[in-house]
C-alpha cells in the first residue's frame, strides 16, 4: 500500500485529459491518490466511499464520472469483481523502470480477480497470460451433470427395459425370462434389498440362471417375437 502518489504536470498538455469535464478530471486525480491502489494500478470499486470525500458529490455522480473515464480509456472497470484498473498508472509511476517496483507489480498482478483486467495488466507488464478454457472434457462433465440416483427398493411392478430385453435375447436366449423375472422380483421384494440399477441386477440374475442351466427353456424366442409382447407377458406374470 502506497503512502504517497505522484502525478505528472505534463498531463495538462494531454489533449485527452483536457477534454474531460472537471468532475471526470477530479475523479482521475482522486483514484490515483487512493491508498489502496496496488503497484499495478488496481483498486477496489467504491462509489459511495469516493463520493463521501466531497460534500457536494453523490455516488451517482461518481458513477457517471467513472463511466466517462472508461470512455476515455483511462480506467477499466469490472463490476462483477468490484475492481478498477487505472490504465496509465504503471507508466505514470514508472513501474517498469524500477526492478523492485516491477517485481512488486508482478506479485500484485497475481492477486487480480478480474480476468479481463488481469489480462490487460499482464500484457502491459510483459507477463505471459493464458486464457482459462471454459470447455469441460466430456468424460469429466458427464458425472457432474448426471443426476445421482440414490439406492432404492425394487418396484413390485418392475419391468426390464427394452434395452435389457434386447440384451437378454442376444446373451441369454435359453433363459425363461418370464419365470426368472418373477423369481427376481419376488426375491428382492421379500429380502427388502436396495439398489441403484435394477436393470443391471436383472441382467446379472439372468446370466446366473443361464450359466447354471436352471429354469431354461428348450428353444430361444423367435427373432420375430415383438418386445412389446414379451413385456406384456412379464407384466401379466408378475402382477
Cell numbers placing 208: 446366473
Q: Residue 89 in contact with residue 32, Cβ under 8 Å?
A: yes
Assigned fold of 9-125: Arc Repressor Mutant, subunit A (1.10.10)
HSE, side-chain direction, 13 A CA sphere, residue 83: 19
pLDDT, one tens digit per residue, over 73-129 is 999 999 999 999 999 999 888 889 899 999 999 999 999 999 999 999 999 988 887
- In the structure, what pLDDT confidence band is assigned to residue 136 with cuts at 50, 70 and 90? very low
Q: Which helix (H) or strand (E) holds 77?
A: strand 75-78
Question: Which residues of the chain are in CATH 1.10.10.10 domains?
Answer: 9-125
DSSP output for 79-90: TTTTEEEETTHH
For residue 94, the model assigns a pLDDT of 87
User: Each residue of 117-155: b (16+ CB within 10 Å) or e?
Assistant: bbebbbebbeeeeeeeeeeeeeeeeeeeeeeeeeeeebe
Report pLDDT digits (tens) over 30-59.
999 998 999 999 999 999 999 999 999 999
pLDDT at 139: 42
φ/ψ of residue 216, rounded to 5: -95, 160
- Looking at per-residue pLDDT, the higher value among 37 and 134 belongs to 37
**pLDDT grade for 12, boundaries at 50, 70 and 90:** confident
Q: What pLDDT is recorded for position 215?
A: 54
What is the per-residue pLDDT across 174-185, written as a single tens digit (0 to 9) for each?
Answer: 999 999 999 999
What is the average pLDDT score of the chain? 82
What's the pTM value of the predicted model, to 2 decimals? 0.53
**Exposed e or buried b for every residue in 31-51, given b needs 16+ CB within 10 A?**
bbebeebbbbbbbeebeeebb
Does residue 235 have a pLDDT over 70?
no
Amino acid at each position: 500500500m502506497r503512502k504517497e502518489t505522484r502525478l505528472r504536470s505534463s498531463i495538462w498538455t494531454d489533449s485527452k485529459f483536457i477534454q474531460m469535464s472537471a468532475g471526470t478530471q477530479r475523479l482521475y486525480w482522486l483514484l490515483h491518490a487512493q491508498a489502496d491502489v496496488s503497484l499495478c494500478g488496481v483498486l477496489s470499486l467504491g462509489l459511495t466511499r469516493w463520493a463521501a470525500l466531497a460534500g457536494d458529490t453523490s455516488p451517482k455522480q461518481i458513477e457517471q464520472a467513472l463511466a466517462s473515464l472508461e470512455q476515455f480509456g483511462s480506467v477499466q472497470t469490472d463490476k462483477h469483481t468490484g475492481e478498477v484498473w487505472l490504465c496509465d498508472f504503471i507508466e505514470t509511476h514508472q513501474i517498469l523502470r524500477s526492478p523492485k517496483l516491477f517485481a512488486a507489480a508482478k506479485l500484485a498482478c497475481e492477486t487480480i480477480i478480474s480476468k479481463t483486467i488481469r489480462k490487460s495488466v499482464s500484457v502491459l507488464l510483459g507477463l505471459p497470460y493464458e486464457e482459462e478454457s471454459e470447455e469441460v472434457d466430456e468424460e469429466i462433465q458427464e458425472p457432474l451433470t448426471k443426476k445421482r440416483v440414490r439406492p432404492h427398493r425394487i418396484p413390485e411392478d418392475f419391468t426390464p427395459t427394452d434395452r435389457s430385453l434386447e440384451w437378454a435375447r442376444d446373451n441369454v436366449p435359453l433363459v425363461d425370462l418370464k419365470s426368472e423375472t418373477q423369481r427376481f422380483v419376488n426375491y428382492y421384494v421379500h429380502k427388502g434389498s436396495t439398489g441403484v440399477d435394477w436393470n443391471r441386477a436383472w441382467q446379472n440374475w439372468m446370466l446366473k440362471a443361464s450359466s447354471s442351466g436352471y429354469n431354461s427353456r428348450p428353444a430361444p424366442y423367435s427373432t420375430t417375437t415383438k418386445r412389446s409382447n414379451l413385456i406384456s407377458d412379464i407384466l401379466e406374470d408378475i402382477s
